[in-house]
């Protein structure tokens, strides 16, 4: 019996076969380059937690005498008062259920105050900042992202 021999197999392509293969690869790259951003954008609309902020499951938002009260109901027999917010803050917090987008929250909150804000962009920025502060306090379930574009700075 002879020992196994290592042989290198070389395939020779004709010029025509090489150009067809090269063209196919280039075509696939171009189609992928055009289609991938649109595919990613389409998929991320449905899967991104960034679009739908949600309060922690243990938090309960209740109407109080002088605003809205937020309780930590981890211990159902003895809920703990975590914070109090005004009516507008309560309206925003009730919408943080993972089903409302930032734009829906802003629109609903704007409608709930009963008057049109003099500067809608500034009002939207304040709502976004309030939600960011809730996230900093650890009240929001998953990470989310807010793009705030404001040309006017107020101090």
User: In this structure, are 100 and 31 located in the same domain?
Assistant: no
Summarize pLDDT for 36-79 with one digit per residue, the tens. 554 444 444 444 445 688 999 999 999 888 889 999 999 989 99
User: In this structure, are 60 and 40 located in the same domain?
Assistant: no
Instruction: Give residue 88's domain range.
Output: 51-136
70 found inside a domain:
yes
Confidence (pLDDT) at 49: 47
144 found inside a domain:
no
User: In this structure, are 27 and 62 located in the same domain?
Assistant: no
User: In this structure, are 80 and 127 located in the same domain?
Assistant: yes
130 found inside a domain:
yes
For the range 44-52, what are the long-range contacts, defined as Cβ-Cβ under 8 Å and sequence gap of 24 or more?
Answer: 49/142, 49/143, 49/144, 50/143, 50/144, 50/145, 51/101, 51/102, 51/144, 52/98, 52/99, 52/100, 52/101, 52/144
Summarize pLDDT for 100-126 with one digit per residue, the tens. 988 899 899 999 888 888 888 888 889
Confidence (pLDDT) at 40: 46
Q: What is the pLDDT confidence band of residue 12, given thresholds at 50, 70 and 90?
A: confident
């Amino acid at each position: 019996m002879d020992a196994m021999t290592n042989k290198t197999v070389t395939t020779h392509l004709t010029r025509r076969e090489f150009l067809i293969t090269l063209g196919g690869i280039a075509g696939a790259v171009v189609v992928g380059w055009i289609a991938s951003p649109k595919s990613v954008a389409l998929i991320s609309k449905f899967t991104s937690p960034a679009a739908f902020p949600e309060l922690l499951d243990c938090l309960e938002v209740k109407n109080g005498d002088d605003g809205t009260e937020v309780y930590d109901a981890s211990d159902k027999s003895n809920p703990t008062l975590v914070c109090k917010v005004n009516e507008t803050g309560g309206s925003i917090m009730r919408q943080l259920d993972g089903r409302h987008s930032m734009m829906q929250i802003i629109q609903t909150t704007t409608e709930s105050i009963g008057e049109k804000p003099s500067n809608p962009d500034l009002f939207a920025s304040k709502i976004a900042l309030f939600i960011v502060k809730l996230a900093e306090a650890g009240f929001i379930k998953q990470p989310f992202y807010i793009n705030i574009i404001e040309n006017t700075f107020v101090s």
